[in-house]
Chains A and B, each alone.
Chain A
């Protein structure tokens, strides 16, 4: 299973190598960003999540630690080198076939999802449903905590989990969600609160 949250950068002064790799990466259903020289990279420092960097071996040696320690602060980085004269199981070699390149890229990319094995269960727990119901009825965090005999801290953490699972952050969005999922009825909500 491919992790399509991975951002791929191709560091390459060679347009031919960039274009060739780009076509293969598109076949994988992913996209890649071309960096023709190290300075261009300064425009991308806000990138977070999983980053795969494809680069010539000598650039990896020269800039690898700089890229890792200075440029990105909130990302997990993996490198894959390409080489004109050295073949290996891990690195890309100029004479590799498409399928060899795809296998090597997939191996690296799948290593990201092993590291961050996210909770893929999106169902809300019964406690979260209780909290959601009260949010939809217009209760504040403090009122929810009182009503359910939990601390405010716990109530906030439930609210955070609900947003993560549903992808919905605002109170009116969560209210809509509760109505659609029949957790509450339209007649019970104060529609004046929907903002």
Chain B
């Protein structure tokens, strides 16, 4: 496995790993790529190429995580990417999982009671997760952007920042999805409609991978950066 570079064609990246299509879309680069390279696409769509490649490679290669490089990226770019990812969950992944789940439950099979419990866990997960996303988009992200502005007065928002616990907020969501996946794949007694069950499992897999990646960017990059920013601006203030 080699990392993607500026010279790779977008189409070759997608041929290599079709999940990259979703990631590339989040930068406003849509289907109809022709033979455009990463470099050309970034110029055309006004995207920071280093940020684009870092996101692509981190997603593609789960061992890769260049923390030092992320420190150089604009916080507003990171936040834009995260918001696009939220959109993807809200408008695509969640409805897709809902659809596959109800299909699975409505097929007549002997495991219905157990599936209904699993559905209940997923519905509760979804409610919490949506609340979390809303909270980030309406309160946390605007606050972070305010903090990155030069004329911001850190004391002004010190109180608010202190109230927010930035550390590993996301691992609880990851754990819940991993549990749903493990129950489905390792423990659920066989279901007569194998195809529906597989389709559902694949959707959960896709979500788990994306969410893990998303959490790494928030917990290891965004929030440490914010803490750093806050500490340094508070220091200047004294």
Contact = CB atoms under 8 A, between A and B. Distances in A.
B131 interface: no
Question: By DSSP majority rule, is chain B's interface helix, strand, loop, or mixed?
Answer: helix
A168 B182 contact: yes
Given A180-B114, A181-B187, A195 B121 contact: yes
A47 B63 contact: yes
A44 interface: yes
A47 B67 CA distance: 13
Interface residues of B, number: 33
B33 interface: no
B66 interface: yes
B65 A46 contact: yes
B121 A34 contact: no
Contact of B117 (A43, A44, A176): A176
A177 interface: yes
Given A167-B186, A170-B175, A176 B121 contact: yes
Nearest to A34: B2
B193 interface: no
Contacts of A43: 57, 64-66, 69
Interface of B: 1-3, 57, 61, 63-69, 113-114, 117-118, 120-121, 124-125, 128, 172, 175-176, 178-180, 182-183, 186-189
13 contacts: A18-B2, A44-B64, A167-B186, A170-B175, A172-B121, A173-B180, A175-B117, A176-B187, A186-B113, A186-B114, A194-B117, A194-B120, A195-B124
